[in-house]
């Protein structure tokens, strides 16, 4: 279970760093606070964490698409950017999927 919590927390920190770079401090605060939902041993908190992870993964895909379009318009290389952002999106998606395992669901009451 500790590995799953660490993976989600790392995903939240990565997203928080992205928002910090953009100056969106409200979203930075949300990203920093979201891992603390693990302390609420209820099914709703686990569900909310999964939704946050899936929305973050979708957000990374959207960011990747916009970045690729921008780089292609200016004739800049874009393949490395898609590899990096794709890996981050997959990592974030995996962190959400791992929260759906039977081992962690048994720890959270309904």
User: How do residues 44-103 score in pLDDT, each as one tens digit?
Assistant: 999 999 999 999 999 999 999 999 999 999 999 999 999 999 999 999 999 999 998 888
Convert the pLDDT of each residue in 5-44 to its tens digit: 999 999 999 999 999 999 999 999 999 999 999 999 898 9
Round to whole Å and give the CA distance between 94 and 42. Answer: 21
Number of domains making up the chain? 1
The predicted model scores a pTM of: 0.90
Q: State which residues form the domain around 51.
A: 2-107
Which residue, among 24, 35, 100, has the nearest Cα to 59 in the 3D structure?
A: 24
The pLDDT score that the predictor gives to residue 17 is 97
Burial string for 13-50 (b: 16+ CB within 10 Å, else e) reads: ebbbebbeeeeeeebbeebbebbebbeeeeeeebeebb
């Amino acid at each position: 279970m500790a590995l799953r919590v660490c993976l989600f927390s790392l995903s939240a920190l990565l997203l928080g760093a992205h928002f910090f770079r953009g100056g969106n401090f409200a979203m930075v605060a949300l990203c920093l606070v979201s891992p603390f939902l693990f302390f609420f041993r209820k099914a709703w908190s686990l569900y909310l964490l999964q939704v946050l992870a899936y929305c973050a993964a979708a957000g990374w895909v959207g960011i990747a698409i916009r970045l690729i379009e921008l780089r292609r318009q200016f004739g800049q290389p874009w393949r490395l950017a898609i590899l990096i952002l794709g890996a981050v999106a997959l990592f974030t998606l995996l962190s959400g999927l791992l929260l759906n395992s039977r081992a962690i669901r048994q720890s959270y009451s309904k």
